[in-house]
Amino acid sequence: MSALHPIHPADPAIRHLAGRQITELIVELRTEGREFGLLWPSAQPGETILNGRVLVAIGNIPASTVINLLALIREYKRHRNRP
C-alpha cells in the first residue's frame, strides 16, 4: 500500500478481503483520520460486490478508497514527523 501507487477498485487482491479485515481497516481509518476530520461512525463492510469491487457501507464506496485514504494519512504523518 502506497500513497504514490493507489490500489485500483477492481484490484483482485481486494476480492479476498473478508468482512472482518475490512472492519479492521475502517477502525484504523477512523483512528488515524480523526485529526483530519475523517469521521464515519456508521461505516461497515458492505455485503455487495459490484464488478469485482467490495463495497463499504458509506455511500457504497469501493474498499480500495479506505485503503488508499489510510495510505495517504500514513504518508502525510511520515513526512510530518521527519526532523
pLDDT along the chain (83 residues), means of 10: 78 85 86 81 64 66 85 89 74
Specify if 45 maps to a domain. yes
pLDDT at 18: 85
pLDDT at 23: 83
pTM of the model: 0.68
Specify if 39 maps to a domain. yes
Q: What is the distance between the alpha carbons of residues 73 and 59, in angstroms, rounded to a whole number?
A: 21
Q: What is the distance between the alpha carbons of residues 39 and 49, in angstroms, rounded to a whole number?
A: 24
pLDDT at 46: 63
Sign of CA dihedral 15, 17, 23, 26: negative
Specify if 6 maps to a domain. no
Specify if 23 maps to a domain. yes
pLDDT at 43: 63
Specify if 44 maps to a domain. yes
> What domain range is 42 assigned to?
12-80
Total of domains in the chain = 1
Specify if 2 maps to a domain. no
pLDDT at 47: 64
Specify if 5 maps to a domain. no
